[in-house]
Amino acid sequence: MHMLGRLLPLVLLLLPPAEPAVADEPVIQQLETGCINWSAAVVQAKGRSTPAEADAERSTDASTARLDAARQAAVGNILETVAAIRIDATARVSSRMAAASSFREGLVNLARNATPIRQEYLSDGTLEIELSMPLTGGFAQFVLPAEIRQVDTVTATVSAHPSPDNLPQGEKNGTTGTHTGLILNAIGIGAQPALAPLVVDETGEVVYGPAFVSREYAVSQGMSGFSTTLAAARENIRRVGERPMVIKAIRTDARGSSALVIANTDAARLRSSAAYLCFLKACRVCIVLGPPPPPVTSPDPAPIPSDGDE
């Protein structure tokens, strides 16, 4: 027993060091005007009002004037941040804002109803307000493509069921069980989040997109969840259920970085699942994008040779 006690520290020293756990950070698109938290499906932005700006207001109540000025600045930043959101693989919110003044006015009204989540007076007297607006609910109802419609029933087509000869052995025999959702591993292919992502097979046939979902689910929870790790996606049982199918995206499509391509064999595997149309209809999909890339730094400029170096 004493010998075991002496050997234990030596054994511990010889063991390889444990690898650090990978932190699951949310998928955040950071802009100068605010941030888009795709994992939480919210947009947040700040606005400030200085005492000097408040004095310029004609309001008799200086504190109210400062509050209004800070909130207006935050609303403007929310709008600029929202403009950068990808609707799908080819369009952003900004393009629709430029194309239709009524669309822009609708977004303005939504931004004005954003919820204050923080209000703080800074050391120099500046008032800072932070607003938050969900990407679900009213915003999703207003912005999501019209092709996303209410789907009452789901029926499988003949093309949705490939030949069993093309399927893995376990799925031919029906031993894999019923899947409850879909996790798409898009790490390392340059994929970007969007309100209405697209998934196609190698022939370009759509596997998942607006035509597959029911609008009530897309509005209430979004067409897809987004995560930085597979572990976090699996733990999101509310989104993908307890038995999700996991598929690796092999590249992005030519249509854009929010259109993902999966292998034909994986597309067949998905289409063979008895429940796949049901869980796609309910938007039980999570896309794993991986951690954000490190900031790009410019290399140090090469030294200019002096006359003596030539």
Last residue of a domain, one of 107, 140, 173: 140
The order of strands in the sheet holding 28-30 is 28-30, 35-37, 42-49, 127-134, 115-121
Within-domain flag for 148: no
Domain containing residue 253: 158-288
Within-domain flag for 234: yes
Percent of the chain with pLDDT over 90: 67
My answer on whether 135 and 97 are in the same domain is yes
Residues 6+ apart with CB under 8 A from 116: 71, 129, 130, 131, 132
Within-domain flag for 303: no
Last residue of a domain, one of 140, 168, 202: 140
Within-domain flag for 85: yes
Return the number of other C-beta atoms located less than 10 Å from residue 133's C-beta. 24
Residue 39 pLDDT > 50: yes
Last residue of a domain, one of 86, 107, 140: 140
My answer on whether 48 and 80 are in the same domain is yes
Cα 127 to chain centroid, rounded: 31
Within-domain flag for 298: no
Q: Which one, of 37, 128, 114, lies nearest residue 75 by Cα?
A: 114
Give the total number of structural domains in the chain. Answer: 2
Within-domain flag for 209: yes
Average pLDDT over residues 53-59: 50
Which helix (H) or strand (E) covers residue 14, if one does?
helix 2-14
Within-domain flag for 19: no
Cα 115 to chain centroid, rounded: 21
My answer on whether 131 and 244 are in the same domain is no
What the block records as the tokens of 227 is 């995560």
My answer on whether 107 and 167 are in the same domain is no
My answer on whether 196 and 246 are in the same domain is yes
My answer on whether 133 and 190 are in the same domain is no
Within-domain flag for 219: yes
Highest mean pLDDT among 14-18, 78-82, 295-299: 78-82
pTM: 0.79
**DSSP H helices in 57-156:** 62-83, 93-99, 101-112, 138-143
My answer on whether 135 and 225 are in the same domain is no
My answer on whether 54 and 134 are in the same domain is yes
- Band (pLDDT 50/70/90 cuts) for residue 15 is very low
pLDDT in tens, 217-267: 999 999 999 999 999 999 999 999 999 999 999 999 999 999 999 999 999
My answer on whether 105 and 164 are in the same domain is no
